[in-house]
Amino acid sequence: MSAAEQKDKENPAQFGAFDAYSGANRRPQKYYDAIKAKFAEERDLRLKLRPEGTAQFNSDLDGGLSRFGEDSYNREIEEREPINDTVEVLFIGGGFSALLTTSQLREVGVERIRIVERGADVGGTWYWNRYPGAACDVVSYDYLPLLDEMDYVPRDHYAKAPEIFEHCQSIAKFYDLYDLAVFQTTVIKTEWHEDEQLWHVETDRGDHMKAKFVICANGPMSKPKLAKIAGIESFKGHSFHTGRWDYDYCGDQLQNLKDKKVAIIGTGATAVQAVPKLAEHAKELYVFQRTPSSIDIRNDWPTDPNWARKLEPGWQAKRRQRTIDGPVLTEAQLAKRAQLSAEEKIQRQENSNIDHMMWIHQRIEDIVDDEATAEALKPWYMFMCKRPCFHEDYLPAFNQPNVQLVDTHGQGISEVTESGPMFDGKVYDVDLIIYATGFEVQKTGIYNQIVGQNQQEINAYYSDGIRTLFGIHSNGYPNLFIMAGYQASFQFNITDVLTVQGGHIAASIDFARRNNCTSIDVTPEIEDWWVQQVIAHRGKTDRNKNCTPGYYNFEGEDNRRQDGTYNGGFKRYVELIEEAKTKMDEIFILHKEKEA
């Protein structure tokens, strides 16, 4: 492919390939209304089947389930003495949040930085998720952070997991993060000591570390969850969670599966990537589906070396800025939109969205041979109600004779027996069950108890609703920063948000250092202002009400309007964070060193 062609393809409207305002009146409105009614019917069915919402899952994997959370890549725990020292900045978690923030902290001169990580290396998501076919779903030139700083261009349009993991390791080496890093270690308590103006950090390895600043970089999706299905522990075959892939059992190329009957539970983003590989190697594959994902075109290609060679320094920062600025509309487009009433705009957006979903349906019909299977694979909800997926090989896998879709039409399997999953009275006798059931979503302080001023645990502080400034600071938790949590702006490419958050955290720490502050804490007033901003903008969407249940909408649960993302737009989020840099003495309560 030529550089010009690559450039042309570079900004595909990957998730929203449709023009949101163009879909009016292509067909009679009753066509769209009928589809909307079907969407509502399918959503209601699922809500009725799972009234327990998020409680249908279990992420506290203990007792007989604890093996589902154990590290399958490094089973040996390296012996070491407990640590009792003090560092300036301590990250809980070693994924992209920690890595990209470190780059910004180094710029302001912070030296003693420690990562404490449950896994045996840095990488976070890309340490844990090594399932076959794992890759990012965002264009890699945007998703992988620090490409300018590391002078690196990813090998493919969509980077594969091993390359992303290697990139994480390169960043850690580049910024000297391995020196103080502690792996195979889980933070279990993080407590603020007002008298010392320090955080005390306790771990499951008997450490008692201290840190001036703590950054919760524990990940928006790093704690595996299982559906609460009866009998998981009674299964006599082998089983594991996709985030802890067992290559000892499967073989490094999945070669051991050639005489194995395999079941995969779940058809979300992970399963969509893993199924084609499993279909290639397993003797028999049963794919248990509750609700289908939307499968869009992926359009992957190897990076054109000529294009890569011509990239000028700062190329990634420019791409990121374009994302922040958003699409540029022509005057004609703006004028056309201005003529539409709010109701017309919503209707056009919905109709375009439905057109796109019907195109997704048509693609399924074109690819999948068996009519009943094709029908069952059709998602009946608006685009972006559930995490969209992009793949060229997922749908064709269902044409293979060794692959069977077991569509449970919203119900899920009824139990796991000794010999395999059961649905509709039938037991599927298998050797291996793979749980592609996802992760606990966006919780601050996983595995960990965060105790701030006045001995208040952070989830107790949030008991009447999450309270933060920018999703980053909470009053009463001085020198503590949260990344990738709620009340931050939503971007499909999460590293866009993390980069902005990392910049703000580095600026805050720099501010504290320059002003000889032992601690900084957001004022209750500014925190309240942000909560109100989140509430005001959340009213813009009724996704929770109208979407089929999934992790994007808390499985359809009613939730407080402040317990979600900031929907005021990424551009506005960035502007407000930039503005905050000039007002730090107003947004923070400063605790200064006593004069001698």
Ligand X SMILES: Cc1cc2nc3c(=O)[nH]c(=O)nc-3n(C[C@H](O)[C@H](O)[C@H](O)COP(=O)(O)OP(=O)(O)OC[C@H]3O[C@@H](n4cnc5c(N)ncnc54)[C@H](O)[C@@H]3O)c2cc1C
Q: For ligand X, give the closer residue by CB, 98 or 374.
A: 98
The nearest distance, CB 119 to ligand X, in angstroms, is 5
Measure the CA–CA gap between 384 and 474, rounded to whole angstroms. Answer: 30
- In terms of CB distance, is 95 or 412 closer to ligand X? 95
Question: Is the CB of residue 487 less than 8 Å from the CB of residue 562?
Answer: yes
Whole-number Å distance between alpha carbons of 462 and 565: 15
To ligand X, the closest distance from the beta carbon of 352 in angstroms equals: 24
Closest approach of ligand X to the CB of residue 494, in Å:
4
Please identify, using beta-carbon distances, which residue of 272 and 469 lies nearer to ligand X.
Answer: 272
Identify which of residues 397 and 483 has a Cβ nearer to ligand X in the complex.
483
* Whole-angstrom distance, CA of residue 248 vs CA of residue 74: 11
User: Between residues 95 and 476, which has the closer beta carbon with respect to ligand X?
Assistant: 95
Nearest partner of 439 among 159, 167, 244, judged by Cα: 244
Q: How far is the CB of 491 from ligand X (least distance, A)?
A: 7
Give the count of alpha carbons within 13 A of 57, CB side only.
Answer: 19
CA dihedral 56, 58, 63, 66 (to 10 degrees): 140
CA distance 450 to 435: 30
Which residue is listed with tokens 């050797």? Answer: 431
- Cα–Cα distance for residue pair 83/450, rounded to 1 Å: 19
CB of 309 to ligand X, least distance (A): 26
Would you say 275 or 587 has its CB closer to ligand X?
A: 275
- Which residue number, 143 or 428, has a Cβ lying nearer to ligand X? 143
Query: What φ, ψ does residue 442 adopt, rounded to 5°?
Result: 45, 50
Closer Cβ to ligand X, 58 or 218, answer by number: 218
Element holding 585 (H helix, E strand)? helix 584-587
Q: Closer to ligand X at the Cβ: 436 or 584?
A: 436
Shortest spacing between CB 219 and ligand X, in angstroms: 2
Cα→Cα distances 334→161, 325, 329, 338, 344, Å: 40, 16, 6, 6, 15
Minimum gap (Å) between residue 591 Cβ and ligand X: 26
Nearest distance in Å: CB 343, ligand X: 33
Locate all alpha helices (DSSP H) within 108-243, ordered by sequence: 125-128, 140-143, 147-150, 161-174
Tokens of 546: 């109208």
In whole angstroms, the minimum distance from the beta carbon of 511 to ligand X comes to 23
Distance CA(202)–CA(17), nearest Å, equals 47
CB 127, min distance to ligand X, A: 6
Q: How far is the CB of 592 from ligand X (least distance, A)?
A: 31
Give yes or no for a contact between 414 and 382, defined as CB atoms under 8 angstroms apart.
Answer: no
**In degrees rounded to 5, what are phi and psi of residue 262?**
-120, 140
| CA 89/CA 110 separation, integer angstroms | 8
Q: Choose between 131 and 588: whose C-beta lies nearer to ligand X.
A: 131
Give the chain's length.
Answer: 596
Residue 312 tokens read as: 């000028």
CB of 62 to ligand X, least distance (A): 15
The percent of the chain in helix, strand and coil, each rounded to the nearest 5, is 40, 15, 45
- Pick the closest to residue 133 from 106, 160, 111 (CA basis): 160
Residue 425: which residues within 8 A CB-CB, separation 6 or more?
none
| Amino acid identity for residue 12 in this structure | P
The distance of closest approach from Cβ of residue 161 to ligand X in the complex, given in angstroms and rounded to an integer, is 8
Coil, helix or strand at residue 432: strand
What span, in angstroms and rounded, lies between the C-alpha atoms of 384 and 398?
24
* Smaller CB separation from ligand X, 380 or 486: 486
**Choice between 161 and 580, CB closer to ligand X:** 161
- Residue 95 C-beta: closest distance to ligand X, Å: 2
Distance CA 6, CA 581 (A): 37
Q: Are 438 and 485 in contact (CB under 8 A)?
A: no
What ranges in 92-189 are assigned the alpha helix state H?
96-107, 125-128, 140-143, 147-150, 161-174
Output 245 or 423, the one with its CB closest to ligand X: 245
Binding site for ligand X (CB under 6 A): 92-98, 116-119, 124-125, 127, 129, 136-138, 143, 186-187, 217-222, 270, 439, 446-448, 483-484, 493-495
The least distance separating ligand X from the CB of residue 492, rounded to whole angstroms, comes to 6
62 φ, ψ (degrees, to nearest 5):
-120, -175
Kindly tell me which of 360 and 446 has the beta carbon lying closer to ligand X. 446
Which is nearer to ligand X, 497 or 517 (by Cβ)?
497
